[in-house]
Amino acid sequence: MSLLRLSPSNLLSAVTTPPESNRVCPRIHLKKKETSALTRQRLGFNTTFRFNTFQRQALRCCLSMPVEGPTSSSQLQDRLLYFSRAYWVSRSQIAWNVGAEDGSCYLYTSKSARLSVTNDGNHGIEGYDMRIKLEVDNAGLSENVMEKFPHIRDYRAFKVPLTLDVKNLLKCQLAVAMYKSDGKWSTATGLQLPGVLDELFSYNGPLGAFFSAEAVSLYLWAPTAQALSACIYEDSSGGDPVQIVPLQEFNGVWSVNSPRSWEGCYYVYEVSVYHPSTLRIEKCIANDPYARGLSADGRRTLFVDLDSDALKPEGWDTLADDKPVLHSFSDISIYELHIRDFSVTDPTVHPDFRGGYLAFTSQDSAGVRHLKRLSSAGLTHVHLLPSFHFADVADEKDKWKNADNQMLESLPPDSDEQQAHITAIQNEDGYNWGYNPVLWGVPKGSYASNPNGPCRTIEFRKMVQALNCVGFRVVLDVVYNHLHGSGPFDENSVLDKIVPGYYLRLNKDGCIEHSTCVNNTASEHFMVERLILDDLLCWAVDYKVDGFRFDLMGHIMKRTMVKAKNVLNVLSKDKRGVDGSSIYIYGEGWDFGEVAKNGRGINASQFNICGTGIGSFNDRIRDALLGGSPFGHPLQQGFVTGLLLQPNGHNHGSKENEERMLAGAKDHIQVGMAANLRDFVLTDFNGQEVKGSEVCTYDGLPVAYSLSPTETVNYVSAHDNETLFDIVSLKTPMEISVEERCRLNHLATSIIALSQGIPFFHSGDEMLRSKSLDRDSYNSGDWFNRLDFSYNSNNWGVGLPPKAKNEKNWPLIKPILADPSYKPLRSHILAAGENFLNVLRIRYSSPLFRLRTANAIQQRVRFHNTGPSWVPGVIVMSIEDGQEGIPGLSQLDPLYAYIVVIVNACPNAASFAIPALRTRTFELHPLQVMSTDEIVKNSTYEALTGCFTVPPRTTSVFVEYRNI
């Protein structure tokens, strides 16, 4: 529904009718090209939010409609009160998009929030404390203002008198109004304040609760607050505060010193502040933005000293010395895992630990044994989906509703009853991915054995320690691009209660931007950026996290990301107990919404982030391998799903078009296998020598964007969208066998594993994981998200996936789920797991698969079978090493002098000769010779002709040993 098209007759219903869902938006894997609001609407993004917020935003957006006919005073008052179209950008300037007609501009202030338009509409504003005339600044906005606020660079500038006590005025309701030369009122609006707040109140001192031997001190940044108190409670819930302590302000920071005996108690802030969403001075109850502990469901902030020995597992302070060795970021490989998925259905885990932090400490559980196998094969990092305090999952387990699994097991595989049962309780069960942040700096209570007190801190630390012990470094998925709540009353609102209109990014009308789903944050503002950096330091130092994955990183400014990398990099084991140089950062560099094309400053998009050493996900290789995109037709095929080679009946155009699509996909994959380096030179399918940046996607954007291999995170599946096995099952022809689909699953994974750059794997892909074809399982419960480390089931065919995001595809999905031939057997799952371990071992068998520089990749990596006469469905990559003592390439690998990787996506065996290699002696990689996969053993090399032969749907690795 477009609110801008509402008529006055249905305005009331729009404002008072709640959206279809008041939960967080679904997790849709957004590509960089999806930039416009219209496109996002077409893709089905749910931009709804909680009921009160929806009402307020609906009203504010509706008020932006042109008013036809006579304008009443109440309409004028609404326009004044509900919009903030002017910007107080610095101490001396206000920017406003008004015409240059003759007349006067005035600034109005009201400490008690009584501004309104006079009854006749001619004499302007009443209810003010001060009325200040503003002169036009003919010099225009300053350069630093235009750099900070590029979206208003053409606005008119007005001078703020130097005599004003600006700091105190910022605590008031504010408005500016224009008057015509005849003195009649013309227009008015409220003001957005982040610019002037940053100039006057940027602060680098202590924030949050600080503990000393005798005292605990509180510090809160709230420059627009009129009064502020801390309410102290002995218990986690209920009861009256045992003390209400007023805080004192100095230059925008409120503070109080109190006895150390507060440790273990709880507190909330009571903030009196003008809130533009209600047009009133509100008394907001809020948690501490720098909270390091919480009560259940975040009702209160816990006084907790993270440096207390009582909160540290044995050996915690020296954990940095015991972490798995990491020589280079190029050695990283990542396994993405949801904490609850890992153990909630694992019967080998103690019932009290299932679905939580402590499950990782169960060293003999099936899941931990599986992780040990992955680690022994070379996998280095476990990426945990959000585990900070998020909304929509109650922290107390007795509040959860649970599915009747026994009943669900009895239903047909294509039934719609399973999803109906799951969705009926999905907002009251224990499941959610967690991309709906409330407080960033506290572990989620639902994963702890007790959500009250410091238990969650202790158990999170034990989880990190246990994963390090198994051989993994730990990546935390952070979501700084949006917050779940806003406004003065939402229980999940924190930052917007304390400094309204500052932490959340606003549009030109003063409404909150929602392109990330809901309540976009504004890292371009100084104290937002500072909060992000401080939060990262907390997780790195106090929880010894080894890496960070940034959700929708493109909505964060590049400057913020570079600062984050730098502040983490300088951490040392001597001073902070952490080796910051080993902390890896990566994220989603999609470029869309209000930040697209640097609309709010230089953002951390794929094309902007290159050269920083920060990684970003390479969606190009994913789309080329699977076909289309997550937003395209579900049957569109790609390189490994049968495009041209095994058609599924979908109309891809003429055969010539299919040939061109397959050849283009091959080029995209090859660029990705070369770490998506923009300057890597290869021969494209037309026979032209081109750089990676000159190979273009179907929408004309460059495929390659990175400057170093560690800036590329290659993947073929993630938590978003269908699992790899599901998408392969959906896109391949129905007549092929499940064995063939299993091979294609592994084929796709092997390409990622053997590419330059950093490989990223979704948990369960190595076990043919299925979510019963659910394309968006963020809230689909344990039933659709199950992992089975006993390898008895891959969770295929457990019912039609939830209606909300999948119903339009049910006609395609239903016959597939109903067909028993699609379901893998235990033998298939075991074989897939062994093949995955093998390809990991191959990656770590040679440093040639993990080259550290762009120059090394350009010098050593070559692609054959290129140009217009290529053999369709076959990729041939060679990696050459040097010889010690011989000029030219340096020697990196003591064992192998030359490696050839051949990917055959064809349904039949393929042969390819490389005449230049006839003088070499190649053998199938010893790990494949010893493999349990009998098919790969049929790979051959004929030295006389330089011809390699590879079985169907197989990746074969050939090596040339050194002469020792």
| DSSP character string of 380-393 | -EEEE---EEESSS
| Residues sharing a CB contact under 8 Å with residue 173, sequence separation 6 or more, in sequence order | 109, 110, 111, 112, 113, 114, 115, 190, 274, 279
Rounded distance, CA 76 to CA 362, Å? 65
Q: Where are the beta strands (DSSP E) in 73-164?
A: 86-90, 93-96, 103-110, 116-117, 125-126, 130-136, 156-159
Give me the percent of the chain exceeding a pLDDT of 70.
91
| Polymer length of the chain | 964
Spatial distance between the Cα atoms of 24 and 514, rounded to a whole number of angstroms: 11
Q: Which of 199, 234, 257 is the last residue of a domain?
A: 199
Q: What is the mean pLDDT of residues 520-527?
A: 98
In this model, does residue 75 exceed pLDDT 60?
no
Distances, alpha carbon 672 to alpha carbons 160, 375, 533, 620, 704, in Å: 53, 25, 31, 7, 8
Using the Cα atoms of residue 709, residue 752, residue 765 and residue 414 in order, give the sign of their dihedral.
positive
Answer whether residue 706 is part of any domain.
yes
pLDDT band at 185 (very low <50, low <70, confident <90, very high): confident
Q: How many structural domains is the chain composed of?
A: 2
User: If DSSP codes are grouped into helix, strand and coil, which group holds residue 940?
Assistant: strand
Instruction: Return d(Cα 950, Cα 933) in angstroms, integer.
Output: 13
- What are the structure tokens assigned to 203, written together? 């602060």
Is 718 a member of any domain? yes
Mean pLDDT of the chain: 91
Q: What is the pLDDT of residues 288-334, one digit of tens each?
A: 999 999 999 999 999 999 999 999 999 999 999 999 999 999 999 99
Q: Phi/psi of residue 744, each to 5°?
A: -70, -35
**Taking the CB of residue 566, how many other CB atoms lie within 10 A of it?**
12
Question: CA 248 to CA 638: how far, in whole Å?
Answer: 63
Contact 198, 525 (CB under 8 A): yes
Give the residue-averaged pLDDT of 174-179: 94
Residue 29 lies in a domain: no
**C-alpha to C-alpha distance for 747 and 902, rounded to whole angstroms:** 11
Tokens of residue 178, six digits: 């224009």
Strand partners, 579: none
**pLDDT band at residue 55 under the 50/70/90 scheme:** very low
* Domain of residue 142, CATH code: 2.60.40.1130
**Residue 241 pLDDT more than 70?**
yes
Two tokens at 833?
């797991």
Which DSSP category does 961 fall into?
Answer: E
At 412 the pLDDT is: 98
Region 410-438: what's the mean pLDDT?
A: 98
Distance CA 892, CA 7 (A): 70
Q: Could you tell me which residue, 956 or 182, shows the higher pLDDT?
A: 956
Find out whether 64 and 112 touch, Cβ atoms under 8 Å: no
874-880 vs 896-904, strand pairing mode: antiparallel
Six-digit token pair at 929? 């010779």
- With contact defined as beta carbons under 8 Å apart, do 221 and 203 qualify? yes
770 pLDDT more than 90: yes
What is the C-alpha separation between 142 and 153, in angstroms, rounded? 9
The whole-number average pLDDT for the span 250-275 is 97
Q: Name the pLDDT band for 50 (thresholds 50, 70, 90).
A: very low
In a domain? residue 435: no
Mean pLDDT of 414-438: 98
Domain span at 624? 617-768+824-961
Q: Which CA distances in Å does 896 have to 59, 301, 331, 922, 961?
A: 68, 57, 18, 10, 5
Angle subtended at Cα 528 by Cα 524 and Cα 529, rounded to the nearest 5 degrees: 65
User: Is-contact 365 347, C-beta < 8 A?
Assistant: no
Contacts of 206 (CB under 8 A, 6+ apart): 217, 219
Three-class secondary structure of residue 339 per DSSP: helix
pLDDT over threshold 50, residue 788: yes
Rounded to 5 degrees, φ, ψ at 442 are -130, 135
Alpha helices in 378-434 (DSSP H): 405-409, 417-425
Q: How far is CA 111 from CA 190, 503, 849, in A?
A: 14, 22, 65
Angle ∠(563,569,575) on CA atoms, nearest 5: 120
**Over residues 437-445, mean pLDDT:** 98
- Assess if residue 82 is contained within a domain: yes
Coil, helix or strand at residue 135: strand
C-alpha 2/C-alpha 541 separation (Å) is: 46
Determine the pLDDT at residue 570. 97
pLDDT for 413: 98
- Reference 107, options 119, 98, 94; nearest CA is 94
Span 510-525, average pLDDT: 97
In this prediction, residue 27 carries a pLDDT of 39
Contact 702, 694 (CB under 8 A): yes
Handedness of CA 461, 463, 464, 470 (dihedral sign): positive
Using 50, 70 and 90 to split pLDDT, how confident is the model at 182? confident
Per-residue pLDDT averaged across 903-931, rounded? 95
**What's the average model confidence in pLDDT over 82-107?**
92
Q: Is a pLDDT exceeding 80 seen at residue 7? A: no
pLDDT tens profile 635-660: 999 999 999 999 999 999 999 999 99
Burial 485-497 (b: 16+ CB within 10 A, else e): bbbbbbebbbbbb
Radius of gyration (Cα) for the chain, nearest Å?
Answer: 30
pLDDT at 145: 97
Q: How confident is the model at residue 73 (pLDDT cuts 50, 70, 90)?
A: low
pLDDT of residue 77: 57
Given a contact cutoff of 8 angstroms between Cβ atoms, the answer to whether 118 and 70 are in contact is no
What residues are annotated to the active site?
551, 588
Concatenating the DSSP letter of every residue in 174-242 gives: EEEEEEETTS-EEEEE-EE-HHHHHHHH---S--EEEE-SSEEEEEEE-TTEEEEEEEEESSSSSS--S
Cα 222 to Cα 171, 201, 217, 495: the distances in Å are 10, 9, 16, 10
What CATH number is associated with residue 740? 3.20.20.80
H/E segment holding residue 753: helix 738-753
Backbone angles phi, psi at 596, to 5 degrees: -55, 145
Q: Which of 199, 220, 242 is the last residue of a domain?
A: 199
DSSP conformational letter for 540: I
The answer to whether the beta carbons of residues 262 and 232 sit under 8 Å apart is yes
Q: Is residue 489 part of a domain?
A: no
pLDDT tens profile 112-135: 999 988 766 566 889 999 999 999
**What per-residue confidence (pLDDT) applies to 8?**
29
Amino acid symbol at 631: F
* Residue 9: Cβ-neighbour burial (10 angstroms; 0-12, 13-18, 19+): exposed
Structure tokens at 349: 């885990």
Is a pLDDT exceeding 60 seen at residue 382? yes
Other beta carbons within 10 angstroms of residue 142's beta carbon come to 15
- Taking residue 812's Cβ as centre, other Cβ atoms within 10 Å add up to 14
716 inside domain: yes
In a domain, 890, yes or no: yes
Domain boundary among 178, 199, 220: 199
